[in-house]
Structure formats: structure tokens, C-alpha cells
Amino acid sequence: MLLSLHVAVAFETGEEWVRAFLMAHYGFFLLWQPLLQGQQKLETRLAVPVLGMAALLILVPSGWMIALWVAVLAGLTGAVAAGMPGRGQRWIYLLALTYLLTLLLLWIMPRVLADQSLPALLRQLVQWGLPVLPALILISRGRMPAAMANAMDFFYGLMVFLMVVVLALGTFAVVAVTKSGYAISLAQTLTGMAVLLIVMSWLWNPRAGFSGLGGVMSRYLLSVGLPFEEWARGLATRAERERDPETFVRDALADTSSLAWISGGTWTTARGRGEYGKRSAHVSNHAFHGLALEWFSERPLTPALSLHVRLLSQLLGYFYASKVREQTLRDQAYTQAIHETGARLTHDVKNILQSMKTLMTAAETSGPEDAERLQALLVRQIPQLAQRLQNTVDKLKQPHEVDSNLINAETWWRDLQARYAHDRVQFATLEEGCDGKLPQDLFDSVADNLLTNALRKRKADGQPVAVKAELSCKEGFVFSVEDDGDPAPDHVARNLFLGPVNSEMGLGVGLYQAARQASMLGFELRMVENRSGNVLIRLMPKDSLLPDRHE
């Protein structure tokens, strides 16, 4: 591309040859250009400017047109050089940039200004020696990676193009005003531009306490058309106050309706959509974290405003995703509460049924001589079972309330022995003077869960285990259940009272719910022993001074 340009510009050939080499040069440019991918289909809207540029360059090959084209090539070359990761590829483009600037300043501009003040030797050196730079590029081994084929820094390229144009036009202005030679005018223009760049670089990041043009530019890009910090603070406040995700998005977008450069917009989520303001011809679409946004504007958004709209959309998307997660967690917590309440009440009902089966077994196995004793047992147990069933129904209506009805300890211990009189449970003798009151619902739930679980166990030889129950009143009310079966696995023992566990005979939440109920009433469930032949679980007051191990 550069060699064909050099032949068309630097050698005195006929007009037909100039156009022919310019056409070849433009063809090589289309193969090299970093704007469009080579495999991309060229649409009509893109083909028209490409062909129009070729027509201007080839059919009107004036000095100023060539100078403008070389400035464009310099800008594109500088943009690609800024995006190159390797030193080898960057040096190739720096050689090309050096060639273009030298050709423009030492050959094209003197021809445009009709200046003959440059030495003939310099002109010969440019004409015959300058092609060495493209030749070095041609024989170099540097190859551009496929991923970097279209890498270019647009801002850097625009700055290079503007600097080249300013240099060319500044030189022309100095020549026209001072009537001096081209070399002196070029030196004066270069000196002025150097001083200006030094001043601009100092103002961009000064050292005297002033934030500089860089800080001013950053604040402008972040707050153009909208007080960004104020809007973000309002967004965070609204996020704390509003729980529904869709309502939050609707109200947050309503806060942006006062912007002059935004006429309206729409939002769409998986659970709804909305619209505010009015529609217009120019639309900007963004989607983040399940939130799709359309921003309408009366005029096309500038690059700074487009970046700003993207930032606002991303913030809204992040906040919307957090609100959706909060709602999901609330729904899961509600569902878990329903499950735990149902599981707890199911265990209570199952324990009541177990007590009823015990009474039925006693009635079936008793004879006429046991009629009075059976009648006394039923008279004493049936009202208690009815009361327990009523308490279960009340818990279903008000699951968060804890039943704290108290009962005499001797009475409760006697009723428990009566319920399990036909089971293989060995009850210890109650101590004298144990006449205090204990929470009936808690001790009934714990006793039924512990005794039922122990009675279901079997030894390794298939024989049933021996179960012992004891109620102590020395350090508050302490209820213990002990058996000589196999211990619980370590992973079950660790989580027995902390959460639901896998159970082959139930839901696995009985002891967990009992432990939670005990904690609400100032008690705790503790596995004191867990070894083969001795498994002991106690219900005791919190901070009890009893030893951890059974003696």
C-alpha cells in the first residue's frame, strides 16, 4: 500500500499513471484497513462511502486531497499502533507512521505551497531513499495476531489525525501570513505545537493541588446531563425502602424523566414490563441481569451520553438482581417456615396417635378383672390426649406461639409411666419432694420423641434394646432417656439438634423441633453419651451444672 502510494505521489509520471497507482494503492488499503473485517459482507450503506472516497482520491488527485488522505492514513496507522501488544508489531506501524509524516511534510506540502526552498538533495533523498521504510516493513518478520487484526484505539487515532491536520494547516497559515520559507514556517509550527502540548500535559495532571483537566473530564463524563452521585444515592435509598423488584425499577426510572436528553423508556423483566415518557426515533438498548431497558431520545446520543446510559442501566440491573434475590430468599424462608411448622405438628400428631395406640393395646389385653384399673387409666389419659390434640390445632392457627402450660412434675411422671406401661421402658423412681411444675407440652414432645426413637432401635443380633427413663429435680427439671443400642453416626450426632437429619422412619425433624422449642423455654437438649451400649440424651435447663457425661 505504501509503495504504490509513493510511486503515485513522489515520481513525475503522467496523470493516467498517477490514477492507476492510486487505484492500486486504494485496493491495497481496502485489504489492510482496520475498520471492517475481511470476511464481512459489505452492505450498501457502507459501500457508498467506500466508493465515494475512492472516486475523490482517484478522479480528483489534487495536492490538498492527497495531503488529507495521507493525514487519514496517519491517523489510522497511529490508532492501530496504539492497540498492538507486542513491540515488534508496534515498531512496524511506527515505521509506517514515520514514512507518512515524512512524505507529507517534505514532499506533499512543499508541492502544495509551490515552495522550492528545500535543498534538491533532500528532495532526492525523499524520492529515492524514503521507500526504504516500506521495504523494511515488507521484509520484516513481525506478524499481527489474528485476534488483533481489528484492534485500534479510535481516540488515539483521532488525536493523531487532528495533530497532523493542525500541523499542515498551521504551516500553511504561517507561510501565508509571514511570507517566509517553508522550512522556517514548519519549524515555527512545530515549536508552537510542542509548547502547546507541554502546557496541555501540565494542565492535564498538575502538581499544585489543582485536579487538572483529567479530573474535570472524568467528572464531566460521569455527570453529563445528570447529577450522578445524587441519583445513585436516591437509588440506594429506594432500594432499602422498596421490596418489590418491578416497583423498584418503575420508580427508579421515573426519577430520570426530568433529563432533557431522555424522552422516555421501557423496561422488561421475566415478571412484568412498563413504560414511561414518550417514544422517539432514537433508541438505545441495554440488558443486565434479567432487566432489559430501552432508552428513547430526541437526538442520537453522543459517545459520552451512551457511556452514561450504559452505566445507569448496569446499576439498575445490579440493584434489580439484588431485589430479586431478596424476594427469592423471603419466599424460601416462608416456605421453610411452613415446612417446619407442618413437620413439627405432624410429629405431635404422630406422638398422640402413639399414645392412643398404647391405650388401645391396654384395652385389648386387659381382662374383666382389670376393668376398674383400665377405666381409671382411660379417665386420666383421654382428657390429656384431647388437650394435647387441641394444643396442636392451636399451634396450627398460631405457629409462632409457644405453649407454656405448666403441670405438676409428679402428675406428669405418673401419666408418662401410664402411657408407656405396656412398652419395655424402665422408669426410675421419682425423688421425694419433686412437686414443682414443668412445661407440659415441651416435656411431652421430648419424651415421646426420645422414647419412640429408642423403642424402635434393635441390637446387632436383632434383640430389642433396654430403655431407661429418669426425671430429676436436683438442678431444675432434668429428663433423661438412655438405651444400650448402637450409637448414632457422627454426622447425625453433630446435627441432631441443629437441623433436620435423614430418617428412615419419619421426616427427621422431630428432635430438631423439640430442641428449638426447648431453647424458647430456657431448656436445651444434649447428647451426653453416644457410644455402643450406652446412648444417653438429656433435656435440662440451660447453663446447668450437671456433668456432661453420665455417671
pLDDT tens readout for residues 404-415:
678 888 888 888
Whether 138 and 278 map to the same domain: the answer is: no
Whether 248 and 166 map to the same domain: the answer is: no
Asked whether residue 397 is domain-assigned, the answer is no
What residue type is assigned to position 27 of the chain? G
Whether 200 and 249 map to the same domain: the answer is: no
**What pLDDT score was predicted for residue 506?**
46
Q: Which three three-digit cell numbers place residue 337?
A: 417456615
Asked whether residue 216 is domain-assigned, the answer is no
**What pLDDT score was predicted for residue 153?**
76
Lowest mean pLDDT among 35-39, 286-290, 298-302, 427-431: 35-39
Mean pLDDT confidence for 89-115: 89
SS (H, E, C) 170-219: HHHHHHHHHCCCHHHHHHHHHHHHHHHHHHHHHHHCCCCCCCHHHHHHHH
Q: What is the CATH number of the domain that holds 434?
A: 3.30.565.10
User: What angle (nearest 5°) sits at the alpha carbon of residue 395, between those of residues 393 and 400?
Assistant: 165
Whether 74 and 199 map to the same domain: the answer is: yes
Mean pLDDT confidence for 51-68: 86
Element (H, E) at 413: helix 409-419
Q: Which of residues 209 and 381 earns the better pLDDT score?
A: 381
Asked whether residue 391 is domain-assigned, the answer is no
Q: Which of 337, 130, 323 is nearest to 241 (CA)?
A: 323
**C-alpha to C-alpha distance for 391 and 393, rounded to whole angstroms:** 5
Asked whether residue 116 is domain-assigned, the answer is yes
Q: Which of residues 501 and 276 earns the better pLDDT score?
A: 276
**What pLDDT score was predicted for residue 550?**
41
4 contacts 28 by C-beta, under 8 angstroms: yes
Asked whether residue 121 is domain-assigned, the answer is yes
**C-alpha to C-alpha distance for 200 and 235, rounded to whole angstroms:** 37
Domain boundary, last residue among 204, 238, 258:
204
Mean pLDDT confidence for 15-36: 86
* pLDDT over threshold 50, residue 274: yes
Confidence tier at 73 by pLDDT (50, 70, 90): very high
**What pLDDT score was predicted for residue 548?**
52
Domain boundary, last residue among 334, 353, 375:
334
Lowest mean pLDDT among 20-29, 70-79, 144-153, 343-352: 144-153
Whether 508 and 539 map to the same domain: the answer is: yes
Whether 142 and 280 map to the same domain: the answer is: no
Give the number of other CB atoms < 10 A from CB of residue 322.
14
Whether 487 and 528 map to the same domain: the answer is: yes
Whether 131 and 239 map to the same domain: the answer is: no
Q: Which of 457, 480, 455 is nearest to 532 (CA)?
A: 457
10 contacts 107 by C-beta, under 8 angstroms: yes
Whether 125 and 254 map to the same domain: the answer is: no
Asked whether residue 345 is domain-assigned, the answer is no
**What pLDDT score was predicted for residue 99?**
94
**C-alpha to C-alpha distance for 532 and 551, rounded to whole angstroms:** 16
> How much is the pTM?
0.47
What residue type is assigned to position 343 of the chain? A
Whether 152 and 247 map to the same domain: the answer is: no
Give the domain extent around 468.
Answer: 403-551
Domain boundary, last residue among 334, 366, 386:
334
Whether 177 and 252 map to the same domain: the answer is: no
What length does the chain have? 551
Give the number of domains in the chain: 3
Mean pLDDT confidence for 371-378: 73
Whether 12 and 103 map to the same domain: the answer is: yes
Asked whether residue 59 is domain-assigned, the answer is yes
Q: Which of 94, 99, 95, 105 is nearest to 130 (CA)?
A: 99
* pLDDT over threshold 80, residue 392: no
Q: Which of 509, 520, 503, 514 is nearest to 479 (CA)?
A: 514
Asked whether residue 241 is domain-assigned, the answer is yes
